[in-house]
Amino acid sequence: MHKLHQLNFENTFARLPDTFHSRLNPTPLPAPYLVSFNANAADLIDLDSTESSRADFAEHFSGNRLPPNAEPLSMLYAGHQFGQFVPQLGDGRAILLGEIRNRAGELWDVQLKGSGITPYSRQGDGRAVLRSSIREYLCSEAMHGLGIPTSRALCIVGSDEEVYRERIETAAVLTRLAPSHVRFGSFEVFYYRGQHEHIATLADYVIARHFPHLVDDADKYQLFLNEVTQRTAKLMAQWQAVGFSHGVMNTDNMSILGLTFDYGPFGFMEAYDPGYICNHSDPGGRYAYDQQPQIGLWNLACFAQALSPLIPTEDIHTVLDSYAPAYHQHYAESMAAKLGLSKVMQNDIQLFASLLKMMHASQLDYTNLFRSLGNFNSSADATNDPLRDQFIDRAAFDAWVASYRARLQQEPDSKRKARMDAVNPKYILRNYLAQNAIEKAEKNRDFSEIDRLLKLLGKPFDGQPEMESYAATPPEWARQIEVSCSS
């Protein structure tokens, strides 16, 4: 493991022409202090965890003191926001310090989110607030624990500097790690500017760094689009299977690596509702839970259009046509696993749909219901009353049980519960849990709940008896929690 001054920066994105970014240093953060440190994320960049106890650690990860060989910059991009194209966006409050190569040979972007005004801030203050930083810090690690591709979070550094949102809040800087922060909008900006040579430059860079097996292929751009399409299809299926809503699926928030990132008004669905909207700023429900798969395709179509100077139109259509079958296959496999089935058979889709319809009618907690299915007794004379009693329409449940029991008999498995518990989490980042951590941090500088949740969410499938209350359905007051694009 390395000390701070030994981190191995390479900075490949900084080698691209200045058209792709703006070089600048972070804005100093007054009197920074460490809020939380994630040792698991530190391992990704070979950072010695004991470094977090250094007196100047917060200075380094607030942006006040730059590590050796960092080349700070903000990335340029555009994007479709709620369906409308915005010709220039870019990192309005984030600065990429550079990329660190770890001992495994992997390159990781190290980005400071909330590090001050950049050329892309659009009258913003360039800051993040403690509240939203805690939410992203916890959710990125929760998603990683669930096995869903995501950016990671190294630490949060706070300050008493005031930041104005719906109310006065305090500033924070989140250190975010990802293999890349290139997004769909990174290509869109040059397509709409008519700078097609820059599209090729960026595509060649991304392919060489992240898809090196395509470099020498004559159809590398089409194959690149296909890789992004397949990864996005799988990511959407993973979101749907775990009940996660991103909230702001703009093209500038879509990763070319199929990562979940740019966490804002996200939400894990509680009472099952296919029309669940987690973002208070999205009253029309463009990014509602049940819209995410088709928005994934819509966003890919925007990305494909940006690549159209490099790929024949018919080849683009061929690639995009592969999205829906890939998504449905991944989703069916995920839902089958949640029901303890090792493969997808002809009538399984109806089995999933019928269960979800009953869950919606009974307003059952999505996570807890699937977790409890691991206890389903498939014996012919079993009553499964604890499950049955949760449903309003008992006759419909009994009919479903008959189908489910018959299906389980087609592939009997004494280890079914263990397999189900390995894919149906016991713990998710419910909004009220995050809110409890935020309130303690804001009122008393008590960060213990952040660290407690970080540990809990790192192992969401494990039974943790001392944390049993964290799996409970939300209290009544949690209904008042609203998250928006400012979150």
Please name the amino acid found at residue 405: R
Degrees (nearest 5) of the Cα angle 391, 393, 395?
115
CA distances to 24, 272, 477 from 368, rounded to whole Å, are 47, 10, 19
The rounded distance, in Å, linking the Cα atoms of 253 and 276 is 20
Asked if residues 98 and 110 have their Cβ atoms less than 8 Å apart, the reply is: yes
The rounded distance, in Å, linking the Cα atoms of 196 and 187 is 9
The rounded distance, in Å, linking the Cα atoms of 236 and 254 is 11
> Choosing from 109, 125, 252, 365, which is the catalytic residue?
252
Nearest alpha carbon to residue 241 among 278, 202, 269: 269
What is the total residue count of the chain?
A: 487
The rounded distance, in Å, linking the Cα atoms of 44 and 49 is 11
Terminal alpha carbon distance of the chain: 35
In the chain, the largest separation of any two C-alpha atoms, in whole Å, equals 71
DSSP letter for each residue of 365-421: BHHHHHHHGGG---STT---HHHHTT-S-HHHHHHHHHHHHHHHTTS--TTHHHHHH
Paired tokens of 179 = 């293999």
Is 160 an annotated catalytic residue?
A: no
The rounded distance, in Å, linking the Cα atoms of 344 and 418 is 19
Q: What are phi and psi of 100, to 5 degrees?
A: -110, 130
Neighbours of 97 (CB within 10 A): 26
The rounded distance, in Å, linking the Cα atoms of 294 and 301 is 11
Paired tokens of 393 = 């329409």
The rounded distance, in Å, linking the Cα atoms of 173 and 176 is 9
Specify the DSSP class assigned to residue 19. Answer: G
Asked if residues 46 and 2 have their Cβ atoms less than 8 Å apart, the reply is: yes
Paired tokens of 367 = 């996570």
Nearest alpha carbon to residue 100 among 142, 58, 42, 150: 42
- Mutual angle of helices 348-362 and 394-408, in 10-degree steps: 150
| Residues labelled catalytic | 252
